[in-house]
Structure 1
Amino acid sequence: MRTALVTGVAGQDGIYLARSLLADGIRVVGTVSGPVDNQPRHVYLAGAELRSLDLRDGVGLRALVAEVEPDEVYNLAAVSSVGRSWHEPELTKAVNQTAVEILVEALLAQRDRTGRQVHLFQASSAEVSGDATASPYARSKAAAEDVVRDARDRGLAASIGRLYIHESPLRAVTFVSRKITQGAAEIALGRRDRLVLGNLDVVRDWGFAGDYVEAIRLMVAADVPVDLPIGTGDPRRLVDLVERAFVAAGLDGAEGYVDQDPSLVRPADTAVMVADPEPAAAAIGWRATRTFEETIDAMVAADLARLRSGVDEAEAYLGKLPLPERETR
């Protein structure tokens, strides 16, 4: 049986990836922050082996790789918020860059010890090439890319995916997309009156996380390691997301419910960030399958269900957007 090591397995992407791998009969060992027995997202991860690990613990990370001896490694764990990175630059560098340095050295050591190749996927970000490259987040992700490319030059089968924004009902509440869908649901149910946001004029490429993890798997399965942007190529304004969320919540629209606060605008931001989907289509035969509207509708539906039931995590919240069937090549 093949073994996959997934860092950050309790995050949005980690959950969709783990479920896809498990469905194909692959053993999944996933890292989580905090105690294993206190993971509210256990409900999504039946069958996965969870290990508590702070990626800043280099000794622990090396020991885990040596114990598991994975065939595939998906490094998804990260400080993933640009805004948070401005407040915690040292933490951001430690998790997003230094941990990658330790991980690739451990994988190279495993290859040399066992004589067996291991395939690595490094989750990078579109922010690396945007206008906000000065952010600690973008700098750490760019540095991690350099580390992975160097390891590839040393013979590691390593691929890098620059992932554009992707969402799902499992999106954390720290992200603006979930703030919007949850806020629209709360207003629709009479739990609040207003939603306060920052810049609504940015243009982004919002996809579905379940689609993106299938692109990740295709990259790892490729005969030759490949670096690709992963996105839909469909440009949408943030105000479009707001409007869709309020309509999905059963309201006529967002007018009269949203206020803008200049203090919520990032210190540096990219006005337009949209992927070119053609490289991924050519290299691995991948294109996004879920529409912007389907994704936002599913997020709002899950938030309405959470508010009505009081249950934050339930497998039923994945039901509106099941995993797409993965093409075989």
Structure 2
Amino acid sequence: MQAKRALICGISGQDGAYLAKFLVEKGYVVIGTSRDAAASSFANLQKLGIRHAVETVSMSTSDSGSVLSTIRNAAPDEIYYLAGQSSVGLSFEQPVETMESIAMVLVRLLEAIRFLDCPIRFYNAGTSECFGDTGNQRANETTPFRPRSPYAVAKASAHQLIGTYREAYGLYACTGILFNHESPLRLERFVTQKIVRGAAQIARGGSEKLQLGNLDIYRDWGWAPEYVEAMWLMLQQDRADDFVIATGETVSLRHFLDRAFRYFDLDWNEHVISTPGLQRPSDIRIGSADPSKAKAVLGWSAKTHVDGVVDKMCEAVSS
């Protein structure tokens, strides 16, 4: 039986690297894109020990011709779009780039699939940021979007585009509405990695205070290697659909802080300060999820909840 082929746009990032590893272990031929594949280090693939098992190609997402030829040459059964600007905070500084890299690139990919008229299954990386502040409501697939950042606006637009192409053109296209998911591959600009690395540095004798923004936020934090399985499962269904992917457990950032610092036998209150300059122009206070549809339809549920996530990340920076 011929091996399935998957094209991963954004293979250099956290999710792209873990997805590549998951698919390689499933026996897939995995092709990953980069703006300049010859110059890219693909460091995360190296860390996971799969660089040799993945083919990498150059693709300019701003060039429709490059997108079309890449898809034609790769001849994938499945495409995963995990690329684009991924930082909420940075999106306030780079709103145009954020909209371009998320929504406009998605249109080029969908148009290429439509033009080629091949039975390609397409996964789009969505985000819980689209819901805005959920308050006491646990967001599910029918919860209205109330985006509060350029990043969330771009992702909400992409989500609507997926639905439009699915209904109007019959494409097998779906969006995973993923709540926060972390791992040792997270960049340090993300608060979870900043906390874990900051705690580890202080435990080694560092004297500087860890400066963070708003501490009064609540999130659903999961383990990224588990979430890529949910992405894959979405493309194995008979019918394309969208799914909320989360643990279903929401805790405060202070809980995350406490767990990380206690791992290193530290009291975070003695080492952390909240700096107004690091706060976003508008922030989401509470993000709460109802992932019951994913469990019922995909058979997927999170195995690692927030305390396990924190411990695994702390263990990684300790080794």
TM-score by length of 2: 0.90
Kindly tell me: are residues 12 and 277 of structure 1, through their superposed partners in 2, closer, same or farther at Cα, counting changes over 3 Å? Answer: same
Cα offset for 1:33? 4.3
> What does 1:79-94 align with in structure 2 at a 5 Å threshold?
79-94=85-100
- CA drift of 1:35 comes to 4.3
Alignment match of 1:41 (pick from 41, 44, 49):
44
Matched, 1:6 2:8: yes
Deviates more, 1:189-198 or 1:235-244: 189-198
Aligned counterparts, 1:208-227, within 5 A: 208-227=223-242
In structure 2, what residue type is equivalent to 1:6?
I
Find runs of 4+ consecutive structure 1 residues off by over 6 angstroms.
none
**Alignment partner, residue 107 of structure 2:** 101
What TM-score, normalized by structure 1, do the two folds share?
A: 0.88
How far, CA to CA, are the matches of 1:58 and 1:192 in structure 2? 50
> Which residue does 2:143 correspond to in 1?
none
| Contact in 1 for aligned 2:130/2:147 (Cα 8 Å) | yes
* 1:177-192 matches, cutoff 5 A: 177-192=192-207
The 10-residue stretch of structure 1 (4-13 or 49-58) with the greater mean CA deviation from structure 2: 49-58
Q: Name the amino acid aligned to 1:104.
A: L
Task: Indicate the residue corresponding to 2:137 in structure 1.
Answer: none
Which piece of structure 1 moves more, 96-105 or 26-35? 26-35
Q: In 2, distance between residues paired with 1:79 and 1:7?
A: 12
Alignment partner, residue 236 of structure 1: 251
Equivalent of 1:164 in 166, 171, 179? 179
Does the aligned pair in 2 maintain the 1:186–1:304 contact within 8 Å? no
Identity over aligned residues, as a percent?
A: 37
- Confirm or deny: 8 A CA contact 2:148 2:284 kept in the other structure: no
Corresponding residue SS for 2:61: coil
Residue equivalent to 1:311: none
> Given the alignment of the two structures, is residue 266 of structure 1 paired with residue 253 of structure 2, yes or no?
no
Query: How much has 1:291 moved relative to structure 2?
Result: 2.3
Equivalenced residue count is: 300
The code of the aligned residue for 1:8 comes to: G
Question: In 1, distance between residues paired with 2:181 and 2:60?
Answer: 24
**Per-residue deviation, residues 178-218 of structure 1 (Å, max 9, x unmatched):** 11111011101113431011111100000000111111111
What is the one-letter code of the residue matched to 2:194? K
Aligned to 1:21: 23
Cα distance in 2, alignment partners of residues 178 and 54 from structure 1: 29
Structure 1: any 5+ residue segments left out of the alignment? 306-329
| Equivalent in the alignment of 2:317 | 303
Contact 1:180-1:245 at 8 Å conserved across structures: yes
- Counterpart of 1:142 in structure 2 is 156
CA distance in 1, matches of 2:176, 2:40: 31
- Could you tell me how far apart the structure 1 residues matched to 2:318 and 2:39 are? 27
Is the contact between residue 34 and residue 40 of structure 2 (CA under 8 Å) also seen in structure 1?
no
Q: Is the 8 A contact 1:196 1:261 kept in 2?
A: yes
- Contact 1:244/1:253, CA 8 A, preserved across alignment: no
Letter in 1 for 2:171: L
- Range moving further from structure 2, 26-35 or 214-223: 26-35
For residues 142 and 109 of structure 1, the distance between their equivalents in structure 2, rounded to whole angstroms, comes to: 24
SS in 1 for 2:277: helix
Aligned AA for 1:130? G
For 1:67, the aligned partner's letter is N
1:151: Cα distance to partner? 1.2
- Residues 118, 38 of structure 1: alpha-carbon distance in 2 compared, 3 angstrom cutoff: closer
**Is 1:73 the counterpart of 2:73 in the alignment?**
no
> What RMSD over aligned residues (CA atoms) do the two structures have, in Å?
1.4
How far did residue 57 of structure 1 move?
3.0
